Amino acid sequence: MTDSVGVVATQRAVLTQRGPLVLASGAALAHVEVAYETYGELSPARDNAVFVCHALTGDAHAAGWHEGARRPGWWDNLIGPGKALDTERFFVVSANLLGGCSGTTGPQSVDPATGRPYGPDFPLLDMADFVTAHRGLLDHLGIDRLHAAVGGSLGGMQVLEWALQEPDRIDRAVLVAASSRLTPENIAFSSVARAAILEDPDFHDGRYADHGASPSHGLKIARMMAHITYVSGTSLEAKFGHRRATSGTDKRLGADFEVEDYLQHQGESFLRRFDALSYLHLTRPMDYFDPFGSHPDVVPSTRFRLLSFDSDWRFPTAHSLRIRDQLAARGVAVDHTEIASPWGHDSFLLEPPGYHDLVRGFL
């Protein structure tokens, strides 16, 4: 297709060739690899780079197709020739998060000191650590300054942290359905998800791999519950209504409605691509994230574009307005638009009217 970047492959960069990666906690990782993909061509002046930060369960594969894949990258509708992130103009970089399970160093990676997977001994992470790895990748690629950084949900939180860490490195920042501080409700949902994993009998204090086991039941429940928060009541009603998935005898205590089958499918498919320890390590930094408190006097030169969706109840518009007001109070250039969409938080992955046009115009 002419609007696709085509077949792509994930690459890996070693960030610790000159020394360990020191985390916000003071812990250090002796060997760190980052999985990433790039789309488009870097200009001779190296001034057209756009960094894409993914959400909680995303990965480096944001656009194009892997060989033999049945579906494209998770933001393929936004990235490609002529799209909002136009790869005929921009050199787009997408990287997997530190602590993840899709090629970047994380809990199931081998600890060089022991020769065994880190497991539960993997150090606790901070939002700043995600950005430290991103910065290291940019240095590896020889890119000093970004034309833009773009992220949705947790991705937008990373972009905000980055702009405050390096106030002169990012020209433009696009934050979609993001937050600068979670509400108690947000933290509560994540806490229940983590409890489902931690209390699974097969968790084995995080050493489940040593036991040839996996806390798959807990991880499945965590995903099912989280997925409910990513959609909206309107979208669930339109897709499923009160329809039953089966005919004949009531299942009663088992899954009987179409929406239940849908959540079962979401949970089962998640198990094929995600690790329980990574889920724990990537959700917790969101709870502690408070960048305006951590960087009280920083005034980034970055221009910000904030987008939220009227049906998003996970990170509703109030979260974006808090970011807007905090940045504006520091004299930072910032604009916000609330977009009408029936799809809830997941709208940032879709194409509600006007959304991609606003991104394209800002970039």
- CA-CA distance, 326 to 315, in Å (whole number)? 17
Give whole-number Cα distances, 176 to 158, 184, 223, 302, in Å. 11, 21, 21, 16
How far does Cα 21 stand from its chain's mean position?
21
User: Is 312 known to be catalytic?
Assistant: yes
- CA-CA distance, 203 to 219, in Å (whole number)? 10
Strands of 60-164 (E only): list them.
79-80, 85-86, 91-95, 110-111, 116-117, 146-152
- 171 has binding-site annotation: no
Quote the tokens at residue 20. Answer: 């360990």
Continuous H helices in 199-232 = 216-230
User: Is 295 known to be catalytic?
Assistant: no
Continuous H helices in the chain = 127-141, 154-165, 184-198, 216-230, 233-240, 258-271, 276-288, 291-294, 317-329, 355-362
- 360 has binding-site annotation: no
Q: Determine contact, residues 251/261, Cβ cutoff 8 Å.
A: no
Smallest CA-to-CA distance from 140 within 11, 301, 5 is with 11
Active-site residue (options: 312, 319, 341, 347): 312
- CA-CA distance, 4 to 85, in Å (whole number)? 11
Which residues make Cβ contacts (< 8 Å) with residue 181, sequence separation at least 6?
A: 289, 290, 292, 319, 322
User: Is 261 known to be catalytic?
Assistant: no
Q: Determine contact, residues 233/345, Cβ cutoff 8 Å.
A: no
Q: Determine contact, residues 310/343, Cβ cutoff 8 Å.
A: no
Active-site residue (options: 94, 102, 153, 180): 153
Residue list for the binding site for substrate: 223, 346
Residue list for the binding site: 223, 346
- Catalytic residue numbers, as ranges: 153, 312, 345
